[in-house]
Amino acid sequence: MLTDVFEIEQATYKRVLAFNIRSGGNVIILGQAGTGKTEIAQAVCGEEGFEYIYLNLSVLEAPDLVGLPIIAANNTVDYASPKFLPRMDITPKPIVLIVDEIDKAKPELQNPLLELFQFHSINGTKLNIKAIIATGNLPDEGAFSQPISHALTNRCKVYRLTHSFEAWREWAQNDSLNALVIGFLSKNQEYLSRAAVEGDPTAYCRCSPRSWAMAANDLDKTSSQDTVEFQTLLVSGRVGMGAAVKFRVWLDHYRHVEPIIEKLVEKGEKPSINDMSIDRQLVCAIAAVAAVANECKKELKGEERVKQGERVTKIAKNVFSWVKLLPSEFQIGAVKSALNMKMIQDFKLTNVQEVMDTYLTVRKAMKD
């Protein structure tokens, strides 16, 4: 539990970080492992045009941050600053300091951190730091967290990060995460992030945005030669048995519709909606639109790029001529799971009538 700490979701977190960087402040963000605390901070630094230095406090000793003493000729003592710190005299451009695992910092780091956060200096050596972003885990999630010094938190804005499914889906879509994972979680949003059972120190597999992203990457590296059982095994090692058992049903639907999707993609042969269960219709729609997205992802140049554009147009016509016949909620699920705006713009899919028919239906349904 965190006492009197304001909760923010990912979109607000990004706005807070952007403000913090521009204004040159300090912020501490606490949240469950795998919710994107550090990754979002790194992304916002790039968006704001700043380089960042990453520090993992859980592995630092006091000399790593403070530096080692040097005895000068007049018997005075100075400190050799660590190379990674942006000293004002050698770093021309201000940077953002991302301080990770602040809840796991050793006690001997607390005092130098107070100077670092308040004055952006170490042992009086001025550092060219624009802003500091510190991240840590919640006290009750079994991550060996320790209480953070109130003197340190008093030098920062402090928030708790919660997760928003829509924000995660937007990120996952733009990052081309496996469409079946996005589609599954769209229908089962409660599985995106699940806290460990209270008092259970052995819940080593847990659903989180990070663990699902890693599971999606594992699935991308499998093929039709791998069994559903093996794919489920991989997923269970990331998100736990309960979620994997539920996801296995989803995978099983996909395996049954693979031949159907291939005929739709390559020949434009439309599957019979009446012969499919509702879940299978949705999986088929997601997988079909994902086939369009997968063709868009290929990085080709020259004549091959021209041929790629022609093939994307052909596949899109075949796929969306069927997808547009489905209920609007299935159209929304399929489009939001696989295609992003960059793909649509790069391959001029707005010129494909079947695609636009679907998007108009989706837009109307979402407004209603």
Please, are residues 11 and 55 in contact by the beta-carbon 8 Å criterion?
A: no
**Helix 209-220 and helix 165-174, axial crossing angle in degrees, nearest 10:** 30
List the chain domain ranges.
6-161, 175-367
Helices (H), the chain: 10-23, 37-47, 62-66, 110-119, 150-153, 165-174, 179-187, 209-220, 228-239, 241-267, 278-297, 302-323, 328-338, 341-346, 353-367
Residue 234 corresponds to which amino acid? L
Concatenate the DSSP letters of all residues of 304-333 into one string.
HHHHHHHHHHHHHHHHHHHHTTS-HHHHHH
Q: What is the pLDDT of residue 230?
A: 96
Q: How many CB atoms lie within 10 A of CB 266?
A: 12
Token pair for 49: 């045009």
Q: Give dist(CA 285, CA 200) in Å, integer.
A: 39
* Token duo for residue 358: 């679907």
CATH 3.40.50.300 is held by the domain 6-161:
yes
pLDDT tens digits in sequence order for the chain, 368 residues long? 678 899 999 889 999 999 999 999 999 999 988 888 999 999 999 999 999 999 999 999 988 898 888 887 777 877 788 888 999 988 999 999 999 999 999 989 989 999 999 999 998 889 999 999 999 988 877 667 888 999 999 999 999 998 888 888 988 988 889 999 999 999 999 999 887 665 566 778 889 999 999 999 999 999 889 999 999 999 999 999 999 999 999 999 999 899 999 999 999 999 998 888 998 999 999 999 999 999 998 888 899 999 999 999 999 999 999 999 999 999 999 998 998 888 999 999 999 999 999 989 888 888 77
Residue of 21, 11, 88 whose CA lies nearest to 50? 21
Tens digit of each residue's pLDDT (9 = 90 or more) over 41-85 = 999 999 999 999 999 999 999 888 988 888 877 778 777 888 889
| Torsion of the alpha carbons at 229, 232, 236 and 241, rounded to the nearest 10 | -70
What are the pLDDT digits (tens) for 74-118?
Answer: 778 777 888 889 999 889 999 999 999 999 999 899 899 999 999
